[in-house]
């Protein structure tokens, strides 16, 4: 007891000495970075980056903090309101508009060189550019595609993956005819990205979420897109009661080999590698309706206007985070798409990844409008009302469109 | 202060001394409790941006938007149904459980521990465990039903409000029982045993003793349990949030889950603070009404 006591006192003294040393050293700066949690690798990866940067800038320090995505927005809101915002934060790019409108995000144009900016893949840099000004750098990007279970499709007598929705319905019918507890097409009905699962259908039917500042979710294309999903539920081509399953639930069904086709992002490849290595699957484009489409999503690193160390924060981003070396490590560990041209070369011979990157030309992004979260929740409510049979597609979507138009004013 | 000084004080002085002594503590509590409420009320009257920065007064715009919101009435009604059902169910279950645990029987200590266990687990974990159990494809509930041949196709228990809301209420009752049983047990052990002996000798049967002795004597404890549980359940967030997040289509949202969405998902901090004030006033009114009724009852008996 006594021994540990003295040891504790000694270590406290040592700690105090370090603190005094740190505060007396002149113009040493600390950059606080708040990140969203992607996987168990996130924290370690960024701490390595911080260490690398610290060694090149002795005296200065980068501090990494990783937070669950569910809590990130709440945490930043309270920090900003309390005047303790970090220097750099990861945010969903769709939140950026709110940060820019409230004068919280620092424009980056004066810090970045044209060469640095040109290193990014344009499609992923575009969502962080508002009114011609750059407010963030895309850290993680994904597009969506269709994963299909080769064995299940072969058993149902389908050897080529369907390329359009008629083919999806047809294939799902054949899988249903096999009996057993397998489902043709996975449909997500609750929590995060429930709306995105329907946008695949909406966009490929030629619809738009927002068109000329007005809601497009009650357009004939949108109604057709939702009617398709509803008819698949009613015909038993999806799992029963989709409103009981979130994204992880349907991904788990796919990993168990119980789903023929699922629409999701590149992260599922990594999960299958560890959770279901024997699963015989392949990746195909999102099925077409009248047109091709996929959902492009980026997360952004932004710098706060309130930060006293903006120069240093930008240096950390430009000299470490967005260098090919660290980008490749990041994309390998987290399983996202490359966002920089140099980095993309390292993944050029990965055929599964090209299934995603090939679709980038048709990628739609979440609209850059204020109140987007509230709008997407209105859409999710409409989808859930339809999936549970509480409302007809057209009526549910009209209600959501009314809400969106009200919020857009 | 010397004894002489106290003695020479007037009656008025003597009467006010204790009040003077506790005055700092009272002021301090008022400040600690009152300031956040004052701040909140102020926020609810102003224009607030999504990062909590306030601008000028906005003519009760937050309140008018709140009351005219299409989800407000639905959430209010569900909150009342949720609170009344959970509190009512908890009390109805807890009285017999407390009576049984108050009897002397073999294994009573173990039974008491088992009843208390849910209390030791955080509400969030409870929610997560139930959410897993009720999963339609891989949950323990459906697996059990399959085993007994009671199920042909999977049931997604949390997929519709028709099954999800009653289940949430059931879990709500389960987690509220331990606290309530504890209060009742404390009450029961403080009851004087001689009047029960006397009643027994006078020939009162078990039901009569329960009806005319136990229940009236437990009244103060019942009041305590009702008020505390009402406030607690009315504001209870974790269970519903973890299990359904108010889905599908807001059909299991109560005021407090909607409040969270308004504040932190939608950035409607003005409307959210107005809703908090409304919830505070509802609870305040109910508590005062109930306290007055309970006091009048106590005086008349």
Taking CA–CA distances from A188, the nearest residue in chain B reads B159
Tens of pLDDT, residues A39-70: 888 899 999 999 999 999 988 999 999 998 87
Q: What is the pLDDT of residue B150?
A: 87
Q: Hey, are the CB atoms on A241 and B267 less than 8 Å from each other?
A: no
Q: What is the pLDDT of residue A310?
A: 92
Taking CA–CA distances from B156, the nearest residue in chain A reads A244
Question: Is B67 near chain A, with CB under 8 Å?
Answer: no
**Which among A378, A387, A381, A392 has a CA at the least distance from the CA of A223?**
A392
Taking CA–CA distances from A375, the nearest residue in chain B reads B266
Average pLDDT (B82-96) is 95
**Chain A residues within 8 A (CB-CB) of chain B?**
73-74, 77-78, 80-82, 98, 102, 104, 189-191, 239-245, 249, 252-253, 371, 373-374, 377, 380-382, 384-385, 387-388, 390
Q: Hey, are the CB atoms on B268 and A243 less than 8 Å from each other?
A: no
The alpha-carbon gap from A397 to the nearest alpha carbon of chain B, in Å, equals 12
A190 closest CB neighbour out of B157, B248, B265: B248
Q: What is the pLDDT of residue B1?
A: 43
Taking CA–CA distances from B242, the nearest residue in chain A reads A191
Structural tokens at position A69: 């995505």
Report helix, strand or coil for B51. coil
Structural tokens at position A290: 């009248």
Residues of B in contact with A78 (CB under 8 A): 52
Q: Hey, are the CB atoms on A377 and B268 less than 8 Å from each other?
A: no
Q: What is the pLDDT of residue A63?
A: 94
Tens of pLDDT, residues A331-388: 888 888 889 988 888 888 888 888 888 888 889 988 888 888 899 999 999 999 999 9
The alpha-carbon gap from B121 to the nearest alpha carbon of chain A, in Å, equals 22
Separation in Å, CA B274 to CA A109, B76, B82, B278, B280: 40, 14, 21, 6, 10
Global ipTM: 0.84
Q: What is the pLDDT of residue B285?
A: 93
pLDDT exceeds 50 at position A403: yes
Q: Is A360 exposed, middle or buried (0-12, 13-18, 19+ CB in 10 A)?
A: middle
pLDDT exceeds 80 at position A15: no
pLDDT exceeds 80 at position B159: yes
Residues of A in contact with B267 (CB under 8 A): 77, 98, 371, 373
Structural tokens at position A310: 């903006």
Separation in Å, CA A283 to CA A204, A256, A261, A264, A290: 18, 17, 10, 10, 21
Q: Hey, are the CB atoms on A98 and B160 less than 8 Å from each other?
A: no
Task: Pick from A72, A198, A243 the residue to mutate for testing the B interface (most B CBs within 10 Å).
Answer: A243
């Amino acid at each position: 007891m006594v021994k540990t006591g003295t040891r504790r006192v000694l270590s406290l003294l040592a700690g105090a000495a370090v603190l005094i040393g740190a505060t007396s050293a002149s113009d040493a700066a600390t950059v606080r970075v708040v990140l969203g949690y992607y996987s168990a690798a996130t924290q370690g990866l960024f701490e390595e980056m911080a260490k690398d940067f610290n060694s090149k800038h002795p005296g200065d320090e980068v501090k990494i903090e990783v937070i669950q995505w569910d809590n990130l927005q709440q945490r930043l809101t309270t920090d900003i309101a309390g005047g303790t915002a970090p220097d750099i934060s990861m945010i969903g790019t769709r939140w950026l508009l709110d940060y820019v409108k409230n004068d919280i995000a620092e424009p980056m144009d004066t810090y970045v060189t044209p060469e640095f900016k040109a290193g990014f893949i344009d499609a992923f840099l575009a969502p962080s550019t508002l009114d011609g000004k750059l407010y963030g750098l895309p850290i993680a990007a994904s597009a969506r595609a269709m994963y299909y279970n080769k064995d299940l499709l072969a058993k149902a007598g389908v050897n080529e993956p369907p390329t359009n929705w008629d083919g999806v319905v047809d294939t799902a019918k054949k899988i249903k005819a096999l009996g057993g507890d397998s489902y043709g097409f996975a449909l997500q009905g609750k929590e995060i990205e429930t709306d995105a699962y329907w946008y695949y259908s909406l966009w490929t039917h030629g619809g738009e979420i927002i068109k000329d500042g007005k809601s497009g979710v009650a357009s004939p294309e949108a109604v057709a897109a939702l009617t398709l999903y509803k008819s698949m539920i009613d015909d038993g081509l999806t799992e029963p009661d989709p409103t009981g399953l979130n994204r992880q639930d349907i991904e788990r069904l796919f990993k168990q080999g119980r789903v023929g086709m699922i629409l999701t992002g590149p992260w599922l490849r990594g999960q299958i590698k560890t959770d279901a290595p024997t699963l015989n699957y392949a990746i195909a484009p999102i099925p077409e309706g009248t047109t091709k489409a996929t959902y492009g999503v980026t997360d952004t690193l932004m710098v706060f206007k309130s930060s006293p160390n903006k120069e240093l924060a930008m240096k950390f981003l430009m000299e470490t985070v967005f260098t090919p070396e660290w980008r490749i490590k990041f994309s390998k560990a987290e399983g996202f798409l490359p966002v920089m041209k140099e980095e993309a070369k390292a993944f050029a011979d990965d055929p599964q990844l090209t299934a995603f990157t090939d679709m980038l030309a048709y990628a739609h992004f979440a609209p850059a409008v204020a109140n987007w979260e509230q709008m997407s929740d209105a859409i999710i409510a409409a989808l859930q009302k339809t999936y549970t049979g509480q409302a007809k597609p057209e009526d549910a979507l009209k209600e959501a469109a009314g809400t969106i138009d009200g919020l857009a004013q | 202060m010397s004894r002489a000084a106290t003695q020479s004080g007037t009656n008025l002085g003597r009467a006010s001394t204790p009040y003077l002594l506790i005055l700092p503590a009272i002021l301090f509590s008022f400040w600690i409790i009152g300031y956040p409420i004052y701040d909140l009320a102020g926020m609810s009257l102003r224009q607030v941006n999504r990062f909590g920065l306030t601008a000028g007064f906005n003519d009760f715009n937050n309140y008018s938007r709140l009351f005219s919101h299409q989800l407000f009435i639905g959430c209010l009604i569900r909150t009342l149904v949720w609170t009344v059902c959970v509190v009512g169910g908890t009390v109805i279950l807890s009285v017999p459980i407390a009576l049984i645990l108050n009897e002397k029987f073999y294994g009573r200590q173990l039974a008491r521990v088992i009843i208390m266990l849910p209390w030791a687990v955080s509400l969030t974990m409870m929610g997560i465990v139930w959410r897993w159990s009720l999963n339609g494809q891989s949950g323990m509930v459906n697996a059990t039903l399959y085993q007994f041949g009671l199920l042909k196709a999977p049931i997604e228990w949390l997929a519709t409000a028709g099954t999800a809301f009653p289940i949430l209420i059931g879990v709500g009752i389960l987690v509220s029982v331990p606290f309530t049983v504890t209060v009742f047990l404390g009450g029961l052990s403080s009851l004087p045993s001689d009047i029960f002996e006397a009643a027994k000798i006078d020939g009162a049967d078990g039901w009569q003793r329960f009806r005319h002795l136990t229940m009236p004597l437990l009244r103060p404890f019942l009041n305590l349990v009702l008020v505390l549980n009402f406030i607690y359940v009315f504001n209870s967030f974790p269970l519903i949030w973890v299990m359904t997040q108010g889905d599908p289509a807001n059909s299991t949202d109560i005021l407090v889950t909607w409040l969270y969405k308004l504040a932190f998902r939608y950035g409607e901090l003005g409307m959210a603070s107005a809703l908090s004030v409304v919830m505070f006033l509802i609870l305040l009114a109910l508590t005062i009404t109930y306290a007055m009724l309970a006091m009048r009852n106590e005086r008349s008996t």
